[in-house]
Amino acid sequence: MKNLNVLLFSLFLSVVLVGCTNKEPKNYAYKIMFIEQEQFVEPYPTRVIITPEFVRFDDGEGSQDFVLFDRKNKVVRSVVTGEQSIMSVHPKNEVIESPLELKMTEKDLGVLKDAPKVDGKAPKHYQLLVNNKVCSDVIAVKGLLPAAVKALAEFAELMASDSKKTLPSMPADTHEACNLAQDTFAPTRQLKYGFPIQTSGDREYARTLVDYDANYKLDKKLFELPKGYNEYTVQELREGKVKFEKSI
């Protein structure tokens, strides 16, 4: 695993300038901007908008494709404009055991030296291990945007419940301990230390917080689904029940 991305220090300076408070208002709207990096892929932005009712993930201003998490009704919908489709993912109630032993441990590497403080708090560095292998590094700020942490945990738990539905059908040789822990059996593990301002892991992946607005001027249309799109569930897609119109 490479050293933690040096982007943290250059990009994170902009975050420090934005005020925040630990006291979460009853009604809130947060806009959070990340830069994500993957092997063989140019860095790309991810915008996350969080309210008590919804979480929206997209590429930023003007995005037509997006993922919308309806927190009240517990459903995730993925909107793809090019296909004019909306795929929904609902929570599952599967109870399964991991096909591999997952011994999960953590290393607290302490306060990150020379890093700017956020809301008066110094970021801390943790390593998350499975079966004595370092699966990911997390730099987190305890007490930062706790409502956002809660919303992201709810999203992760729903997606993990769906992962449990498909896991038994996956070939045994594709099972990997780090992925099993993160995607299925311990999906909120990276959120237990506070708001993660940077995470990095296998396959050269990294996500870095670059900015957030705790007083975002929300356009409620961002949470509206387009009309007339082909709607189906992820289960229907897996069962081959979905037909797509050929684009001209």
What is the predicted pLDDT for the residue at 243? 85
129 within some domain: yes
Domain range for 57 is 7-238
2 within some domain: no
Cα angle: 170, vertex 171, 174; to 5 degrees: 95
Round to whole Å and give the CA distance between 94 and 235.
14
The string of pLDDT tens digits covering residues 206-248 is 999 999 999 999 999 999 999 999 999 999 999 999 987 655 4
- When pLDDT is averaged across residues 82-100 and rounded to a whole number, the result is 95
What is the predicted pLDDT for the residue at 203? 67
What is the predicted pLDDT for the residue at 239? 92
pTM given for the model: 0.89
The string of pLDDT tens digits covering residues 45-64 is 999 999 999 999 999 999 99
User: Over 90: is that where the pLDDT of 135 sits?
Assistant: yes
133 within some domain: yes
Averaged confidence pLDDT in the chain:
89
What is the predicted pLDDT for the residue at 167? 94
Q: Domain tally for the chain? A: 1
- When pLDDT is averaged across residues 146-155 and rounded to a whole number, the result is 97
What is the percentage of the chain residues whose pLDDT exceeds 70? 88
According to DSSP, residue 226 is labeled P
244 within some domain: no
Round to whole Å and give the CA distance between 136 and 205.
9
245 within some domain: no
Block residue for tokens 């991810």: 46
216 within some domain: yes
User: Over 50: is that where the pLDDT of 86 sits?
Assistant: yes
User: Over 70: is that where the pLDDT of 168 sits?
Assistant: yes
Sorted by sequence, the CB contacts under 8 Å of residue 73 that are 6+ apart come out as none
Say which CATH number the domain at 107 has: 2.50.20.10
1 within some domain: no
Round to whole Å and give the CA distance between 189 and 160.
12
40 within some domain: yes
According to DSSP, residue 30 is labeled E
